[in-house]
Amino acid sequence: MTFRVVQIPVWQDNYAYLLEADDGCTGLVDSPEAAPILAALERSGRRLTHIFNTHHHPDHVGGNSELLERFPDLEIWGGQYDAEHQRIPGQTRALLDEETFRWGGEDCTVRAIPAHTHGHIAYLWKNRSAFVGDTLFYGGCGRLFEGTAEQLDHALYGVLGCLPDDTRVFCAHEYTASNLRFAAHVDPENRALKAAITEVEMLRAAGHSTVPSTIKREHEVNPFLRCDTHAIRLAVGSSPGAARHEVLGALRRMKDEFRC
């Protein structure tokens, strides 16, 4: 790998990610707020050159303007939809679905994955690091604020779920413990899930992050990637012939209302 990923905890449960490249470039995946990011940059002695925004929500772009003031030549990249609707402060480049670029010595493919929002994109680096914003979490997925269950199905099963098993999944929130509690509610006999819950409890008790996950782990424990299984279809009460996106939509509505 020719860049190092530094996880920056922000607010209560957000993560931003500094990408420290060997060639001196320094990228940032999402910018909830500027202060912790500036502190991390000061510790590393690096100058921010790029922001890679996944979508327009304030807890992902809230620090853009302040960081741009600090680094006037800063490149701010995001998806085409958000650029067209001027939803990302300071955006300098609009990225298209399946567009590729090279940064930090690594090739990256951009994938449009609208569901959580219309403009959501993922950054899929060839070194098998996937920055997925709020679309896929460890054990969960993002709410459907703007998109549809059909779009979420494509994002999870047609794009992210097809990545190699050892792909590291860098999501934007520490939601894992609550996600796995819901997963256990709908998939109670899943042995891999039970083991994951124990591991996550130990990590959180020690003050450690549970992120990144891997695609292999998500296929094992994430109910939103297990909508073809009997357990999940039973949990949502779907009819035998129900399309997968219908199961996925019903599961997401269950999660919206779940209290643990």
Which residues are catalytically annotated?
55, 57, 59-60, 116, 134, 173
Report the half-sphere exposure of 115 (CA within 13 A, side-chain side).
28
What φ, ψ does residue 121 adopt, rounded to 5°? -130, 160
Write down the residue that tokens 């006037």 correspond to. Answer: 72
- How far apart CA 127 and CA 96 sit, in angstroms, is 20
- 34 alpha carbon, distance to own chain's centre: 19
CA 7-214-75 angle, 5° bins: 40
Cβ atoms of 160 and 135 within 8 Å: the answer is yes
The pair of structure tokens assigned to 17 is 């990610």
Span between the terminal Cα atoms of the chain, in Å:
40
What φ, ψ does residue 116 adopt, rounded to 5°? -55, -45
The pair of structure tokens assigned to 152 is 């979420």
Task: Pick the closest to residue 113 from 91, 135, 96 (CA basis).
Answer: 135
